[in-house]
Chain A
């Protein structure tokens, strides 16, 4: 008898809870509510109920570091100048590449920057754009969805190798493997048209980019990038960047050619002339 009463009471409580949930679901949303609001978050919270970006980095079911999430560079610094933390003389330019970088450095060729023309920023510059990007991770494939120009990259972890005759491309062909807690991404097969940064460091089709991603904790990722382009630089060189997890937003569509009015006001020749 007592057990039956309890069950009845539980039913009433459950019914009230369900009614409350339905009522919340039908409340009018704020006028400017975004579609990422009211989504159930998996972000760990601290004692104050705020996202705890210093919580431990998550792992996948098979024990790998889980890099999933929306990431953003901390500032525009490396977009502007990938070697911002280096002494200018430490960038190992070949003489022709130094000359090109010097000519572009004062902005007088900005109209020729692919980025200004709404063409892909290339790798690794795409990841340094301030528009956020998302790692979608599976065991054999990581997809990087970039808000910037609504572009995407695929990083294959299934052991495939780049074909020797791969058609030159803006974002290259990426393969990855794990070294401990670090995802190592090799990208080759570029078209040599991209600038490494806004001040105009050139690339060639010989470019090979190695990215090393290490998620330090829930909200922070180290990124080490090695530029190996024997067509433009005398030796490989390495830079470090840091990324922050965004917990309160979602990727949005970004179609650059919608209204690219800037181009006609930028100094330099139209692209291709």
Chain B
């Protein structure tokens, strides 16, 4: 009986994971090719203080001041969130989920054009360890199929 319940619980967890993965897939919005703009082979990790959140269509942008540990210089980076506000709202996020002055740890993919821009795959609030705008962006491989 216990095993049956465990199996059922495992099935629910698996189903939930599928829903989360599906939501992540849908988050990359229609609007442009991520593969053309970002290079999945160039991962980047950034830590810094949020200076601005643009809760706007077609994609949400987060700006963060990142200090270079070696030189001490501070540079402002732009982070593109895969979804627009609508898909984030449907996942339960709001324009207040991330604010200026929040310190965040970011994992992302670097822009191909060399600018201080990355697509954010993961944003974690340093203060709480909680993930914000949790769904990662699938970066397609260019020319994968046609």
Where the two chains meet, the residues of A that have a C-beta atom closer than 8 Å to any C-beta of B are 32, 34, 72, 75-76, 79-81, 83-84, 88, 91, 101, 105-108, 110, 113, 115-116, 118, 121, 128-131, 147-148, 198-199, 201, 249, 252, 254-256, 258-263, 265-267
B128 lies within 8 A of chain A by Cβ? no
How far does the alpha carbon of A101 sit from the alpha carbon of B143 in the complex, in Å? 10
Interface residues of B in 5-43 (CB under 8 A from A): 22, 25-33, 35-37
Where the two chains meet, the residues of B that have a C-beta atom closer than 8 Å to any C-beta of A are 22, 25-33, 35-37, 54, 56-59, 61, 78, 80, 84-87, 89-90, 92, 94, 111-113, 115, 117, 138, 140, 142-143, 145-146
* Cβ B37 vs Cβ A265 within 8 A: yes
Q: CB-nearest residue of chain A relative to B138?
A: A76
Distance of A246 from chain B, by nearest CB (Å) = 9
A72 surroundings in chain B (CB, below 8 A): 26
A81 surroundings in chain B (CB, below 8 A): 145-146
Q: CB-nearest residue of chain A relative to B29?
A: A130
Distance of B123 from chain A, by nearest CB (Å) = 18
Given A32-B94, A131-B30, answer yes or no on A258-B58 (Cβ-Cβ < 8 Å): yes
Given A115-B31, A198-B33, A252-B89, answer yes or no on A261-B59 (Cβ-Cβ < 8 Å): yes
- Ordered nearest first, which 5 A-B pairs have the shortest CB separation? A107-B36, A129-B30, A110-B36, A259-B56, A116-B32
Given A81-B146, A130-B87, A147-B86, answer yes or no on A107-B33 (Cβ-Cβ < 8 Å): yes
* Cβ B111 vs Cβ A80 within 8 A: no
Distance of A85 from chain B, by nearest CB (Å) = 10
Question: B36: which of A84, A129, A266 is its contact (CB, 8 Å)?
Answer: A266
A256 surroundings in chain B (CB, below 8 A): 31, 57-58
A147 surroundings in chain B (CB, below 8 A): 86
- A113-B33, A261-B80 known; 14 new pairs, CB 8 Å cut-off, are A88-B145, A105-B143, A106-B142, A106-B143, A107-B142, A108-B36, A118-B58, A130-B28, A131-B30, A131-B87, A148-B30, A259-B61, A260-B31, A266-B36
B35 surroundings in chain A (CB, below 8 A): 107
A258 surroundings in chain B (CB, below 8 A): 56-58
* Cβ A110 vs Cβ B146 within 8 A: no
* Cβ A115 vs Cβ B143 within 8 A: no
* Cβ A267 vs Cβ B112 within 8 A: yes
B92 surroundings in chain A (CB, below 8 A): 32
Distance of A221 from chain B, by nearest CB (Å) = 17
How far does the alpha carbon of A79 sit from the alpha carbon of B57 in the complex, in Å? 19
* Cβ B61 vs Cβ A254 within 8 A: no
